[in-house]
Amino acid sequence: MKPTRLLDLTANVLLAAVVAWVATRWAYSSFPSISVIAGASLYPVAALEVVLAFLVRSRVQDQRVGDGPKDLHPITVARAVALAKASAQVGSLAAGVWLGFLVWVFPQRSTLRAAAADTPGAIIGLVAGVLLVAAALWLEHCCRAPIDPPDEPAT
């Protein structure tokens, strides 16, 4: 399995931002108001992934990954990697959607009261998406197997 590519995440952000900007421009008047809670929905997921990353990292560094009673099972590490890869994709798409929404709403906030009210939730959502991507990439990094030292030649 290869590490998540930043280019893929950037493409997700840009594509989602364009789609969200077009949708917002076309149908903003029919959107419900954006609360701060709507934007903050990804913060708990990012926090859990950071905690999981530190747990996995400590077990990997202590060489406590295996089948023993107090070891972290290798399948659990593989599942954590799958979670990290999926979360990076979701976070980048969410960040892109909030960015596209914000690009349309932010300039309108002086003329539309609804846009001014939606701006804080959009900013919080954008930050949440970015934090989820960062947490996912950190978890993915922590799940890497340690590099084996080179074999020493026989003396």
Instruction: Give dist(CA 44, CA 21) in Å, integer.
Output: 26
74 within 8 A of 145, measured Cβ to Cβ:
no
| pLDDT category of residue 35 using cuts at 50, 70 and 90 | confident
With CA atoms as reference, report the closest residue to 135 among 52, 15, 37, 65. Answer: 52
- Residues sharing a CB contact under 8 Å with residue 4, sequence separation 6 or more, in sequence order: 84, 85, 88, 136, 137, 140
Indicate the pTM of the whole model: 0.88
Does 146 score more than 80 pLDDT? no
Q: What is the pLDDT of residues 75-113, one digit of tens each?
A: 999 999 999 999 999 999 999 999 999 999 988 877 788
d(CA 56, CA 40): 26
Output DSSP code: residue 66.
S
Instruction: Tell me what the mean pLDDT of segment 43-72 comes to.
Output: 89
Nearest to 22 by CA among 32, 11, 14, 10: 14
